[in-house]
Amino acid sequence: MKPPSFRYFAARSADEAVGLLAEHGAGARVLAGGQSLVQEMNARRVAPEVLVDVNPAAELAFVRQENGTLSIGALTRTSQVESDATLDGSLTGLREAAARVGHVAVRNRGTVGGNLAHADPAANLPPVMLALDAEVVARGSGGDRSISAANFFLGPHRTALAPAELLTEVRLPLPPEGAGSAFIEVSRRDRGWGIAGAAAVVALDREGGISDARIGLSGVGPTAVRARPAEEVVIGERPSAELWKAAAGAAAAALDAPPSDVHASGRYRRHLAGVLVARALAAAADRAERRN
């Protein structure tokens, strides 16, 4: 199928895009990589009256680290995050999540901002943003505002962005020196639709105890979720298989009615969430130990 007719505007800057969104109102949508939006338009699930193409806005494509913060422009391609060697170490989990987004062609066109704004509950990047305590920068006619990742995802394909706001960048405080991170996902086929995923960040103190741990989950609720009960289990303890098992149980027990669909039952997703939490924590802790 082909999409319904629409008007097209190419925005050469973030401010121009914001102006176009404000001018055309609720009928306007942002076109970045188009890997989700165009498919939905072709399937007639959405029918925007106006597309505001931000690809000409080169200012929105960047990856930089400064003053203890990693900033990623909304137009940065997922493949750039996947291949950026400066993100090794404590941010390895971010690269792993990017590498699990679709296939090469999808990652070459799809953008970080688009992935987050699409707010798919099964997407890879949202749980990593939760685990890394990220914040999203949204620009509207009144200027910029920051939204924590914890408050950004409101439901399936729903975010805290106002209709005339543009996601311009995401900012992540760099994990403590020597921390490790990991992202693990299960799908029925390689690079297929993720049934569930887990992102973990683990920091160790000088004695080898866990000084900080953060966990994000995908595919187990209406949004990506933070597994705080599992975090509470491991902080202050020493890494061990028994500890990871206890964290897995806490994470699984805290989930509120994981969804059932053609891919998996809610019961299986609950079980899988625990398994993935244990594996992600173990991988992140192992990386942290190697860096300390």
Q: Where are the domains of the chain?
A: 7-53, 60-173, 180-291
CA-CA distances (angstroms) from residue 223 to 19, 49, 121, 153, 258?
A: 29, 27, 4, 6, 11
Q: What tokens were used for 57?
A: 């806005």
Predicted local distance difference test score (pLDDT) of residue 3: 86
Instruction: Quote the DSSP letter at residue 174.
Output: P
Q: Which of 163, 133, 127, 161 is nearest to 148 (CA)?
A: 133
Q: CATH topology for 180-291?
A: Enolase-like; domain 1 (3.30.390)
Predicted local distance difference test score (pLDDT) of residue 201: 98
Evaluate if pTM is beyond 0.75: yes
Predicted local distance difference test score (pLDDT) of residue 158: 96
Q: What tokens were used for 55?
A: 């690809």
Q: Say which CATH architecture domain 7-53 belongs to.
A: 2-Layer Sandwich (3.30)
Predicted local distance difference test score (pLDDT) of residue 239: 97
Residue listed under structure tokens 């799809």 = 110
Predicted local distance difference test score (pLDDT) of residue 68: 92
Predicted local distance difference test score (pLDDT) of residue 102: 87
Nearest-Å Rg of the Cα atoms of the chain is: 19
E strands in 157-209 = 158-159, 166-173, 180-187, 194-204
- Tell me the mean pLDDT per 10 residues along the chain, length 292: 90 98 95 92 93 97 94 97 90 95 92 96 96 98 96 97 96 92 88 86 95 97 97 98 98 96 94 98 96 78
Spell out the CATH class of 60-173: alpha beta
Q: Which residues on adjacent β-strands are paired with residue 102?
A: none
Q: Which residues on adjacent β-strands are paired with residue 20?
A: none
Burial class (CB in 10 A: 0-12, 13-18, 19+), 266: middle
- CA-to-CA distance for 48 and 191, rounded, in angstroms? 29
